[in-house]
Amino acid sequence: MSNAIDKLKAIWRQMKSYVSSTFIMLLCASFIMWYILKLQYTYTTNYAVLVNIEGERMRVPCVIEGKGTNLFGYRVYMHKELKIPLNDLKYSIESKLDVQAGAVVDSIIIEPNSMQSAISVRFSDIKVVSVGDVPSISLPHVQSRGEN
């Protein structure tokens, strides 16, 4: 680590003899100003949103659109999961036979349009353009008293 710092110091001393330190400071300031101006544009990007539905955590791939400052803020600072109740979503229940376990497993299949609207309500300044494949939620089949 100290070897790399020594090399950087040597490069800095050599550059000072060719380029003035004022030029380097102004170059850095212009880069920062350019970056700030570019963040005001509207961008579209892929983002995986962490969603918690009834205790089941999943990553939902989304295409989102917004200003660069808002997207930057969500990518850097927003690592929380969105809690979405199941009654806010449209879903269907599908039963499948698990051959290895020998039991019936119920899966909740969530409609992507309802997931998109539920996520976009929770993001105020970012538009959710589309939602990718929403993973299904597996529930173990519970036998009622009448079943044997």
Residue-wise pLDDT tens digits, 125-143: 889 999 988 888 877 544 4
**CA pair distance 51, 13, nearest whole angstrom:** 51
**What pLDDT is recorded for position 140?**
55
**CA pair distance 89, 70, nearest whole angstrom:** 26
103, pLDDT greater than 80: no
- Give phi and psi for 130, each to the nearest 5: -155, 165
* Helix, strand, coil percent values for the chain (each to nearest 5): 40, 35, 25
**What pLDDT is recorded for position 144?**
40
For the entire predicted model, the pTM comes to 0.67
What is the domain partition of the chain in residue ranges? 2-37, 39-140
**CA pair distance 7, 28, nearest whole angstrom:** 21
Residue-wise pLDDT tens digits, 50-68: 999 888 889 999 999 999 8
